């Protein structure tokens, strides 16, 4: 003992060889600049600890002064910048040196690099105004440098560090830094385009940092729009946009006339002009910015859609105008005749303005642009402007409809989405609807589904329009039967939005006849169901409609109401009452009866504490069955019902496991029967993970309960193991682990514990001191009794609960033709699936491929493979690469989707307050033993494949 | 004054037979060499005798440039090079070079074999002519000879159409050929950088038209075809083999693909297959969509469009057929038309303009009963539609191009005089540049004001810019140096170097000035006073008092002597070289003001 203490007293101090010293030696060894450069490059590859940064910097600076070769100095300068970025290092001690080095530097490149270093230093010390002032002063001094690189960096520095607050500028009585805006503005007409760009960027940077730019810059910026270089123009467009947002209402004169207009209008006109710029980068920029200029006058806005057509100097109407006229004249459709578009009135040649028309036709050009990037930007801008101006929305409709026929799918999709977004502002004319509906035949599922979404929220003006839409949707249905659900949903909304328009169509749609009985249509025909969905939804707000139904329609209603309850609303039909629920007075009248039912059944379960075990089991079984059925009927309650059913099932399993008669039998005899209990424990564990990770909207209250259930399962596991294994050795570890878990449970959910009186964990915590000291066999005994005695915890339900579901659309698994490929090579399998209510699908959703030999392959889809067509919905379209050694005959593989989870990513651990050191330190080891796993959440699909042996 | 001369031999205030002569900085260039569709006599070709009466054209022309493969831009080429005689280089883009001979051969066949003309160029001549062609890439600067260079820009219009910039010295001309500023289904839009040429020669087919968006037309077209096919009808689309035909093919092909349609589309064989082959090859010349997707699938590898066989016309069921020629005046399109005209379910779509007298024109103007040869009366029951698909820039597009290129002068060709007049007025009004529209044979002279480049030695430049303020873009800067004009080049060098190079001795030029000063004191005292005064005033200069009694300010020497008559007046002798003129004159004026009263 004595010796031991002595040894520990002599502390061994291990020092790492100093970085700076090594570098110094290396640099001194260097015989030529090339050598020195090599050393520096090697040095740069290794990280430097915070403590030694300063020393290294000193060494570097020493060499810097000695070095004659510019390239080495350049490298040193860049290293200085790199080093001052080191986290935890405060670079103010090296700032003076860095500024000093600037003084004697001749090489422009090194100068630029040094300024860059200063920028890094400055950005690390932003809260120190005097440092900033000093750096800005240095930058101003070097603005007169003849090299563009140096001027560039100076401007960047000024932009990033220039004083933003007015007070600060006055306080520090420095000539140079007084008016950064003016200094930067002077460089707007520098001879080098790169410097001009940097100047504008610096100005924008100042704006971003909160400096209010002066209006005087506007005219300067306008001149820059005609610059020869695209980067300058692109930056200038941004600057003009910024100014237009700052001073929308100021008045600017129109050159060449005495008139004056608002600045935002003028800027709008100028940016519109840039939509026909020579460079597509500028065009994209301009088109994007147009969308956010909402203060512009409507008069200017509407011009963007107007391109005055003429032919041989005579005014011509656009096809849109003609279509509108044709429509209003009552004619349905006529083929275009030769000379139909014959020009009408003469145009006064003097009045035609071909180019200086400002906003004129900007969107017409943008939407016709060669590059799809520009077109998408234009569509987006249209969308934003139309959302804020209903009259503009009405006008741009024609153009959007035209975009539905763009050659690039992304553009089509984008314009459909746009249309959906503005759909509450518009009503589609019949001819427009016609064009819209034509797209329903598109072979891309994305497009069709987007269009269904659009139709869900579209206003149609006439009954012919509804009829047309129905006909086209049915056509769509026959062509692509997989769209069934989406089409039904679409018709549901179409019907409920336009009850009065559907009413006159009913006899025709149901093909009823006043005198003759018509044959009863086939109930399983998806097209017939589609028609019924439309009609029933319309009938909901149109009480006269059911009078037109024939007998079988009522029968079909009853059937559909039951089987497709999410599509068919409850109707007040004559002769049958709505099933009125036994109303209990406590429940508010507006509450849904099914919701009520859910709560009631749960209530029933929780209240029954002291029934005989058999009774509890039965009741639980019944309730679970009820809940499952409810979930099927009421889609909006499905998540809730499933969640509770799962919870009850866990409870049931637990009860069953504890009810086993064989608990009291001696261990060796028990061996055979343990299957049930340990399987139950395992299943409960699985179910709890499902509950925690498969449902969106789970709150911490639920998470506690879930974890509690898991704890119980673990206790069960422990008991079962204790009973079945001989010897005490393995139990030590398990007990320890279990107690740790109890401990971490307590830490995580300390705030929730008061709600859990009488529960397993509550009792356990009371016994904790005893448990820690007792032997494993005793622990097991205690656990067993507490598990039996503990009460059943009430599971509170959150507002919204949705179960994550996945449905693999493709591959369909119906193909009999095996996918043939040469063994050893890969074959790509297209996978298309819809995901609902999956949070962060990019991180959690995986594809699993199971080969017949038991080999399993897990594929992580790329983040780009996930689309987000609507809130809570995702779509996975990816390719899975398959490969295998040769088989003698084709066989099926299984493809399924998995939801990966990681227990330390759970909502619970995120809630741990990390206020104190000790806690967060303890949380670390816990996260290491977090369990990762996967939950299969889609039906597996079988794919027939056949790897052929390679031919020699 | 340097000038650029332009003489249209064809296409001056006219459409067809494009041929424009340009002489720029002593170089003669011929732009396009086309034929006229309206004539069958000598007038169909440009009058090359304008260039020279006798003797080879090669001596008079430095190069010929062909903008694209349409016959009104290249139809006279074999005649010009082989029959009239020209051996110089002919420039065109790669696709034009590939497709041009096919069209020329076709043209020859029709004229010689069908119409039976003699004294026309032969197949061999076309081949020989094509051997003289030099193919160029987009944006590639081709040096024709030491001074003349040309560069091609993308023009849209048809595959391989290009605009050319011709540059000699500092003068430049841009010839647009035919171009299109709005992209279509297979080609992009014309584009040019801000090259600021002295002259822009632009086509002006649609000088007075602002066209509607292309999308409406496309949509209408597709809708018509789709409806007819769904009804079970047959659609006939008469087209010319190249250009629009490919656009419509792509349009239908993608539509079929998108909508999953199954009805067959046929293309009448012949020229087209060969041409489609070239379209497949020159993917880089097409639009963004085709360029981006060709890795997966070349858009011109039509999946749904198959070759047409005569027998297919009688097949039942819906189909779409593209057939040549485009105006329904003869050939396969007319045969099919006769077969299908009787059924009201069918449809014929005319995608372009039809000349008077053709069947196409008759049905478009509403005639329902046609008299065919053999006194047959054909009743037209099928639907007749007209869709215009044309790929020229409209008035707005022309203005846009002018805005992009920023030329100093504009010259309009390839359009009707009346329409040009309007556009000319607009261009002058909005861009404030001169605009010309010469008729055929009329010469336009444009005076240019070229900037003359001068080489300056770096040392001198640095020295001169170091003096004075920062270089400012807006202001011209004064520099001192010697301009040496030698061997057709200009150099600005420092005087010393100039002397050295020219082997001349340097002459010193000194100015001497006397200044009288009233000062009764002794000479050396006066000198001392002057010295102190100057030292006080000229703080930035080195003022020295030399032991021999003189004062130097930089290199200026000041000596004082007593006046020979009046001892009270001292004469100051100020002497300086002409380089120091500024300082010297300042000094004298300073001294003339007199010395300050000494205290």
Each residue's pLDDT tens digit, A181-207: 888 888 888 888 999 999 999 999 989
Give residue-wise pLDDT tens across range A84-122. Answer: 887 777 777 778 888 888 888 888 888 898 888 888 888
Specify the CATH number for the domain of residue A865: 2.60.40.10
Q: Give this complex's ipTM.
A: 0.78
Average pLDDT value for residue range A705-722 = 83
- Chain B residues with CB under 8 Å of A337 CB are 366, 386
Angle at A387 between CA A384 and CA A391, to 5 degrees: 120
Determine the 3-state secondary structure of B124 from DSSP.
helix
Domains of chain B: 3-210+391-443 (3.60.15.10), 214-386 (3.40.50.10890), 454-502 (no CATH), 510-593 (3.30.310)
Short-list A738, A747, A710, A678, CA closest to A923:
A747
- Whether B219 and A189 lie within 8 Å, measured CB to CB: no
Q: Is there a contact between B328 and B358 (Cβ–Cβ < 8 Å)?
A: yes
Specify the CATH number for the domain of residue A402: 1.25.10.10
**Domain check: are A778 and A853 in the same one?**
no
Q: Is B218 on the interface with A (CB under 8 A)?
A: yes
Per-residue pLDDT band for A845 (boundaries 50, 70, 90) equals confident
In a domain, residue A924? The reply is no
Neighbours of A452 (CB within 10 A): 23
Which of A354, A356, A407 is nearest residue B254 as measured by Cβ atoms?
A407
Short-list B374, B380, B288, B395, CA closest to B328:
B380
In a domain, residue A133? The reply is yes
Average pLDDT value for residue range A495-519 = 83
Structure confidence at residue A418 (pLDDT): 87
Q: Is there a contact between A292 and A241 (Cβ–Cβ < 8 Å)?
A: yes
Residue A555: alpha-carbon gap to chain centroid = 44
Determine the 3-state secondary structure of B488 from DSSP.
coil
In a domain, residue A66? The reply is yes
CA dihedral B510, B513, B519, B524 (to 10 degrees): 10
**Domain check: are A783 and A814 in the same one?**
no
Give the domain extent around A838.
804-905+932-948
Neighbours of B66 (CB within 10 A): 27
**Domain check: are A411 and A473 in the same one?**
no
**Domain check: are A122 and A148 in the same one?**
yes
Q: Is A354 on the interface with B (CB under 8 A)?
A: yes
Q: Is B147 labeled as catalytic in the residue annotation? A: no
Structure confidence at residue B137 (pLDDT): 93
**Domain check: are A716 and A813 in the same one?**
no
**Domain check: are A117 and A214 in the same one?**
yes
Tell me the CB-side half-sphere exposure of residue B332, using CA atoms within 13 A: 23
**Domain check: are A126 and A156 in the same one?**
yes
At residue A290, does pLDDT exceed 60? Answer: yes
Q: Is there a contact between A383 and A421 (Cβ–Cβ < 8 Å)?
A: yes
Q: For chain B, percent helix, then strand, then coil, each to nearest 5?
A: 35, 25, 40
Which of B185, B209, B222 is nearest residue A310 as measured by Cβ atoms?
B209
Closest-CA residue of B relative to A347 is B208
In a domain, residue A152? The reply is yes
Q: Pick the catalytic residue: B82, B171, B203, B385? A: B203
> How many secondary structure helices (H) and strands (E) does chain B include?
16, 30
Which residues on adjacent β-strands are paired with residue B575?
B512, B557
- Chain A residues with CB under 8 Å of B381 CB are none
- Whether A311 and B209 lie within 8 Å, measured CB to CB: yes
- Whether A336 and B220 lie within 8 Å, measured CB to CB: yes
Structure confidence at residue B30 (pLDDT): 94
**Domain check: are A714 and A831 in the same one?**
no
Give residue-wise pLDDT tens across range A234-267. Answer: 999 999 999 999 998 888 887 766 778 888 888 8
In a domain, residue A274? The reply is yes
How far is it, in rounded angstroms, from Cα A907 to Cα A812?
35
The better pLDDT of the pair A509, A796 is held by: A509
| Cβ within 8 Å of A, B 51-70 | none
Average pLDDT value for residue range A694-723 = 82
**Domain check: are A820 and A707 in the same one?**
no
Domain count, chain A: 5
The better pLDDT of the pair A312, B208 is held by: B208
**Domain check: are A501 and A634 in the same one?**
no
Average pLDDT value for residue range A701-725 = 81
Chain A: nearest CA to B209, how far in angstroms? 4
At residue A473, does pLDDT exceed 70? Answer: yes
- pTM, full prediction: 0.73
Q: Is there a contact between B242 and B288 (Cβ–Cβ < 8 Å)?
A: no
At residue A396, does pLDDT exceed 60? Answer: yes
- Whether A228 and B419 lie within 8 Å, measured CB to CB: no
Q: Is there a contact between A270 and A218 (Cβ–Cβ < 8 Å)?
A: no
Structure confidence at residue A606 (pLDDT): 72
- Whether A319 and B212 lie within 8 Å, measured CB to CB: yes
Q: Is A307 on the interface with B (CB under 8 A)?
A: yes
Percent pLDDT > 70 in chain A is: 81
How far is it, in rounded angstroms, from Cα A562 to Cα A576?
15
Short-list A898, A901, A899, A900, CA closest to A848:
A898
DSSP B219-258: HHHHHHHHHHHHHT-EEEEE--SSSHHHHHHHHHHHHHHH
Structure confidence at residue A342 (pLDDT): 46
- Whether A319 and B220 lie within 8 Å, measured CB to CB: yes
Average pLDDT value for residue range A225-237 = 91
- Chain B residues with CB under 8 Å of A324 CB are none
Short-list B154, B10, B155, CA closest to B73:
B10
Joined together, the tokens standing for residue A95 give 């700032």
Determine the 3-state secondary structure of B167 from DSSP.
strand
**Domain check: are A285 and A203 in the same one?**
no
- Whether A309 and B219 lie within 8 Å, measured CB to CB: no
- Chain B residues with CB under 8 Å of A311 CB are 208-210
Angle at B514 between CA B510 and CA B519, to 5 degrees: 145
- Chain A residues with CB under 8 Å of B365 CB are 338
Average pLDDT value for residue range A11-37 = 67
At residue A332, does pLDDT exceed 70? Answer: no
Joined together, the tokens standing for residue B137 give 């890439």
Joined together, the tokens standing for residue B439 give 């008729």
How far is it, in rounded angstroms, from Cα A142 to Cα A114?
11
Residue linked to tokens 């269009």: A451
My answer on whether omega of the bond before A232 falls inside 30° of 0, hence cis, is: no
Per-residue pLDDT band for A888 (boundaries 50, 70, 90) equals confident
Mention every residue, 6+ apart, whose C-beta is less than 8 A from residue B211: A309, B182, B394
Per-residue pLDDT band for A585 (boundaries 50, 70, 90) equals very low
Mean pLDDT by 10 residues, chain B (599 residues): 89 86 92 84 86 83 92 90 90 92 86 81 92 93 92 92 92 92 87 92 85 78 89 88 80 86 82 77 86 82 84 88 80 86 89 74 83 80 82 86 92 88 88 92 89 83 69 67 83 85 84 82 80 81 81 82 75 83 84 70
Give residue-wise pLDDT tens across range A666-688. Answer: 555 555 556 677 788 888 888 88
Structure confidence at residue B32 (pLDDT): 93
At residue A435, does pLDDT exceed 50? Answer: yes
In a domain, residue A588? The reply is no
Short-list A482, A403, A420, A413, CA closest to A456:
A420
Chain A: nearest CA to B427, how far in angstroms? 9
Q: Among A378, A406, A425, give the residue marking a domain's end.
A: A425
At residue A496, does pLDDT exceed 60? Answer: yes
At residue A904, does pLDDT exceed 80? Answer: no
In a domain, residue A860? The reply is yes
Q: Among A372, A401, A425, give the residue marking a domain's end.
A: A425
Per-residue pLDDT band for A312 (boundaries 50, 70, 90) equals low
Q: Is A310 on the interface with B (CB under 8 A)?
A: yes
**Domain check: are A937 and A820 in the same one?**
yes
- Whether A309 and B212 lie within 8 Å, measured CB to CB: yes
Short-list A142, A877, A925, A888, CA closest to A445:
A877
Q: Is there a contact between A723 and A698 (Cβ–Cβ < 8 Å)?
A: no
At residue A615, does pLDDT exceed 90? Answer: no
Residue A35: alpha-carbon gap to chain centroid = 50
- Between strands B234-238 and B347-350, the pairing is parallel
How far is it, in rounded angstroms, from Cα A79 to Cα B77?
65
Least confident window among A529-543, A776-790, B13-27:
A776-790
Structure confidence at residue A907 (pLDDT): 43
At residue A172, does pLDDT exceed 50? Answer: no
Structure confidence at residue A910 (pLDDT): 40
In a domain, residue A73? The reply is yes
| Cβ within 8 Å of A, B 196-215 | 208-215
Q: Among A425, A457, A474, give the residue marking a domain's end.
A: A425
Joined together, the tokens standing for residue A296 give 């512009």
Chain A: nearest CA to B216, how far in angstroms? 7
Short-list B430, B386, B435, B441, CA closest to B412:
B435
Chain A: nearest CA to B90, how far in angstroms? 30
Structure confidence at residue A890 (pLDDT): 87
Q: Is B358 on the interface with A (CB under 8 A)?
A: no
For chain A, give the mean pLDDT: 78
Joined together, the tokens standing for residue B180 give 């299109």
Mutation target vs B (from A319, A337, A361, A407; most B CBs, 10 A cutoff): A407
């Amino acid at each position: 003992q004595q010796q031991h203490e002595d040894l520990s007293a002599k502390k061994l101090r291990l020092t790492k060889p100093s970085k700076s010293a090594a570098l110094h030696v290396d640099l001194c060894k260097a015989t030529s600049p090339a050598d020195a450069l090599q050393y520096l490059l090697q040095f740069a590859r290794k990280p430097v600890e915070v403590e030694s940064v300063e020393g290294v910097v000193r060494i570097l600076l020493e060499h810097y002064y000695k070095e004659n070769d510019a390239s080495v100095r350049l490298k040193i300068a860049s290293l200085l910048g790199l080093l001052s970025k080191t986290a935890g290092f405060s670079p103010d001690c090296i700032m003076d040196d860095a500024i000093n080095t600037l003084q004697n530097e001749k090489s422009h490149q090194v100068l630029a690099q040094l300024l860059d270093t200063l920028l890094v230093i400055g950005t690390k010390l932003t809260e120190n105004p005097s440092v900033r002032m000093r750096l800005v002063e240095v930058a101003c001094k070097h603005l007169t440098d003849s090299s563009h690189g140096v001027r560039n960096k100076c401007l960047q520095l000024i932009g990033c560090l220039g004083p933003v607050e007015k007070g600060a500028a006055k306080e520090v009585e420095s000539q140079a830094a007084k008016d950064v805006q003016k200094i930067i503005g002077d460089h707007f007409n520098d001879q080098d385009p790169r410097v001009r760009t940097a100047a504008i960027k610096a100005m924008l940077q100042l704006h971003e940092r909160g400096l209010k730019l002066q209006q005087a810059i506007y005219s300067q910026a306008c001149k820059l729009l005609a610059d020869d270089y695209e980067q300058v123009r692109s930056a200038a467009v941004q600057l003009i946009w910024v100014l237009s947002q700052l001073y929308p209402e100021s008045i600017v004169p129109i050159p060449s006339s005495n008139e004056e207009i608002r600045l935002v209008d003028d800027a709008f006109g100028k940016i519109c002009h840039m939509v026909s710029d020579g460079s597509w980068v500028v065009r994209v920029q301009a088109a994007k910015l147009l969308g956010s200029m909402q203060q512009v006058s409507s008069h200017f806005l509407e011009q963007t859609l107007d391109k005055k057509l003429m032919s041989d100097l005579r005014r011509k109407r656009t096809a849109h105008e003609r279509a509108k006229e044709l429509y209003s004249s009552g004619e349905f459709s006529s083929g275009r005749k030769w000379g139909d578009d014959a020009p009408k009135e003469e145009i006064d040649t003097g009045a035609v303005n071909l180019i200086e028309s400002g906003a004129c036709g900007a969107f017409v050009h943008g939407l016709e642009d060669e590059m799809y990037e520009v077109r998408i930007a234009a569509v987006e801008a249209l969308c934003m402007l139309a959302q804020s101006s209903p009259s503009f929305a009405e006008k741009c409709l024609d153009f959007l409809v035209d975009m539905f026929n763009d050659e690039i799918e992304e553009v089509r999709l984008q314009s459909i989405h746009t249309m959906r977004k503005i759909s509450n502002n518009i009503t589609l004319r019949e001819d427009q609807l016609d064009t819209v509906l034509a797209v329903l035949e598109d072979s891309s599922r994305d497009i069709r589904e987007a269009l269904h979404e659009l139709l869900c929220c579209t206003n149609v003006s006439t009954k012919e329009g509804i009829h047309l839409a129905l006909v086209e949707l049915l056509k769509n249905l026959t062509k692509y039967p997989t769209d069934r659900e989406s089409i039904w949903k679409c018709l549901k909304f179409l019907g409920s939005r336009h009850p009065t328009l559907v009413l006159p169509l009913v006899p025709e749609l149901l093909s009823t006849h006043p005198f003759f009985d018509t044959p009863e249509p086939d109930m399983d025909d998806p097209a017939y169901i589609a028609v019924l969905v439309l009609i029933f939804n319309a009938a909901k707000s149109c009480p006269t409609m059911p009078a037109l139904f024939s007998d079988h329609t009522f029968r079909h209603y009853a059937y559909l109401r039951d089987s497709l309850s999410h599509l068919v609303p409850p109707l007040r039909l004559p002769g049958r009452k709505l099933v009125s629920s036994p109303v209990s007075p406590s429940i508010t009248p507006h509450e849904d009866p099914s919701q009520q039912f859910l709560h009631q059944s749960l209530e029933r379960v929780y209240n029954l504490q002291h029934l005989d075990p058999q009774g509890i089991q039965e009741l639980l079984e019944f309730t679970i069955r009820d809940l499952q059925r409810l979930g099927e009927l009421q889609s909006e309650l499905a998540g809730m019902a499933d969640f509770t059913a799962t919870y009850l099932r866990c409870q049931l399993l637990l009860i069953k496991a504890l009810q086993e008669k064989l608990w009291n039998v001696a261990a060796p005899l028990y061996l055979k029967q343990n299957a049930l209990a340990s399987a139950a424990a395992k299943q409960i564990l699985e179910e709890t993970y499902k509950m925690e990770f498969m449902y969106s909207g789970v709150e911490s209250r639920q998470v506690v309960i879930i974890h509690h259930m898991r704890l119980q399962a673990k206790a069960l596991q422990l008991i079962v193991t204790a009973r079945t294994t001989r010897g005490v050795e393995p139990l030590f570890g398990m007990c320890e682990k279990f107690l740790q878990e109890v401990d971490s449970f307590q830490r995580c959910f300390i705030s929730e514990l008061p709600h859990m009186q009488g529960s397993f964990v509550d009792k356990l915590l009371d016994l904790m001191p005893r448990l820690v000291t007792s032997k494993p066999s005793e622990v097991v005994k205690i656990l067993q009794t507490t598990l039996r005695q503990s009460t059943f915890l009430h599971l509170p339900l959150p507002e919204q609960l949705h179960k994550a579901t996945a449905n693999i659309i493709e591959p369909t698994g119906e193909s009999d033709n095996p996918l043939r490929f040469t063994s050893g090579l890969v074959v790509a399998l297209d996978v298309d699936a819809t995901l609902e209510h999956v949070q962060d699908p990019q991180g959690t959703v995986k594809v699993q491929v199971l080969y017949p030999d038991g080999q399993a392959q897990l594929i992580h889809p790329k983040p780009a493979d996930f689309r987000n067509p609507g809130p809570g919905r995702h779509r996975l379209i990816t390719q899975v690469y398959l490969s295998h050694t040769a088989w003698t005959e084709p066989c099926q593989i299984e493809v399924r989707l998995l939801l990966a989870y990681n227990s330390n990513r759970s909502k619970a651990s995120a809630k741990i307050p990390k206020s104190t050191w000790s806690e967060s330190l303890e949380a670390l080891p816990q996260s290491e033993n977090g369990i990762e796993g996967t939950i299969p959440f889609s039906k597996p699909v079988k794919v027939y494949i056949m790897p052929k042996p390679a031919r020699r | 004054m340097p000038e650029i001369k332009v003489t249209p031999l064809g296409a001056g205030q006219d459409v067809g037979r494009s041929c424009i002569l340009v002489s720029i900085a002593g170089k003669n260039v011929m732009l396009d060499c086309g034929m006229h569709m309206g004539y069958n006599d000598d007038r169909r070709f440009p009058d090359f005798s304008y260039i020279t009466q006798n003797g080879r054209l090669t001596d008079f022309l430095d190069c010929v440039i062909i903008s694209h493969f349409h016959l009104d831009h290249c139809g006279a080429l074999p005649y010009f090079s082989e029959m009239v005689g020209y051996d110089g280089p002919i420039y065109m883009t790669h696709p034009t070079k590939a497709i041009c001979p096919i069209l020329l051969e076709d043209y020859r066949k029709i004229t010689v074999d069908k119409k039976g003309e003699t004294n026309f160029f032969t197949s061999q001549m076309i081949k020989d002519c094509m051997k003289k062609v030099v193919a160029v890439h987009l944006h590639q600067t081709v040096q024709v000879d030491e001074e003349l260079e040309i560069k091609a820009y993308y023009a849209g219009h048809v595959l391989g159409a290009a605009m050319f910039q011709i540059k000699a010295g500092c003068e430049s001309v841009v010839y647009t050929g035919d171009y299109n500023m709005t992209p279509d289904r297979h080609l992009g839009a014309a584009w040019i950088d801000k090259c600021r040429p002295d002259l822009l020669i632009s086509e002006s087919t649609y000088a007075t038209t602002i066209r509607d968006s292309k999308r409406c037309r496309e949509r209408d077209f597709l809708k018509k075809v789709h409806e007819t096919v769904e009804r079970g009808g047959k659609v006939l689309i008469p087209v010319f083999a190249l250009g629009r035909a490919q656009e419509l093919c792509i349009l239908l092909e993608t539509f079929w693909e998108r909508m999953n349609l199954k009805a067959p589309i046929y293309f009448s064989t012949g020229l087209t297959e060969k041409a489609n082959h070239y379209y497949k090859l020159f993917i880089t010349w097409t639009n963004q969509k085709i360029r981006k997707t060709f890795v997966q699938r070349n858009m011109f590898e039509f999946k749904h469009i198959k070759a047409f066989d005569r027998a297919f016309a009688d097949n039942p069921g819906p189909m779409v057929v593209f057939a040549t020629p485009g105006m329904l005046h003869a050939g396969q399109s007319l045969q099919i038309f006769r077969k299908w005209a009787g059924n009201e379910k069918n449809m014929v779509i005319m995608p372009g303009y039809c000349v008077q007298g053709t069947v196409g024109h008759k049905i478009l103007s509403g005639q329902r009963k046609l008299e065919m040869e053999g006194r047959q009366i054909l009743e037209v029951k099928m639907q007749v539609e007209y869709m215009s698909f044309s790929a020229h820039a409209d008035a707005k597009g022309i203005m846009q191009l002018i805005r992009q290129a920023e030329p100093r002068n504009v010259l309009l060709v390839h359009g009707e005089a009346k329409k040009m007049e309007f556009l000319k007025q607009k261009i002058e009004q909005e861009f404030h540049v001169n605009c010309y529209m010469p008729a055929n044979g009329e010469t336009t002279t444009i005076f240019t004001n070229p900037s003359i480049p001068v080489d300056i030695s770096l040392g001198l430049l640095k020295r001169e810019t170091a003096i004075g303020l920062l270089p400012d873009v807006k202001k011209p800067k004064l520099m001192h140096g010697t301009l040496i004009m030698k061997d057709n080049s200009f150099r600005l060098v420092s005087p010393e170097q100039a002397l050295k190079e020219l082997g001349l001795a340097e002459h010193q030029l000194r100015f001497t000035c006397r200044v009288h000063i009233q000062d009764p004191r002794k000479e050396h005292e006066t000198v001392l006073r002057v010295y102190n005064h100057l030292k006080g005033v000229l703080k930035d200069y080195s003022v020295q008092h030399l032991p021999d009694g003189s004062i130097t300010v930089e290199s200026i020497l000041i000596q004082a002597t007593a006046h020979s008559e009046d001892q009270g007046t001292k004469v100051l002798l100020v002497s300086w070289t002409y380089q120091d003129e500024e300082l010297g004159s300042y000094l004298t004026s300073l001294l003339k003001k007199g010395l300050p009263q000494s205290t």
